[in-house]
Amino acid sequence: MTPIKAIRAKCIDCCCGQIYEVTKCVCVDCPLYPYRMGHNPKLKGKGGNIANFNKADQARERIDEMEVSV
């Protein structure tokens, strides 16, 4: 289990197993609060799915090919 998944599990436990209650958590002073949804907010916008990068590269290649043929 990753640390983020462990935090998520702790938040679900804190909310008596009610997953929906995690989204409505009001304990903003809790050190786990930013991580309660199972994501690291510090990594927002970084990384990504390699498949998305491959699709973007393929699209750029098609555009380059079209420009060459024109």
| Sequence spans of domains, the chain | 3-69
* Distance from chain centroid for Cα 59: 24
Give the residue-averaged pLDDT of 46-66: 59
Which of 9-13, 18-22, 27-31, 48-52 is the least confident region? Answer: 48-52
SS (H, E, C) 22-49: HHCCCCCCCCCHHHCCCCCHHHCCCCCC
Give the mean model confidence (pLDDT) for residues 13-17.
Answer: 94
- What is residue 15's predicted lDDT score, i.e. its pLDDT? 94
Claim: this prediction has a pTM higher than 0.85: no
CA 23/CA 4 separation, integer angstroms: 15
User: How far lies 12's CA from each of 7, 24, 29, 32, 52, in Å?
Assistant: 9, 11, 17, 12, 31
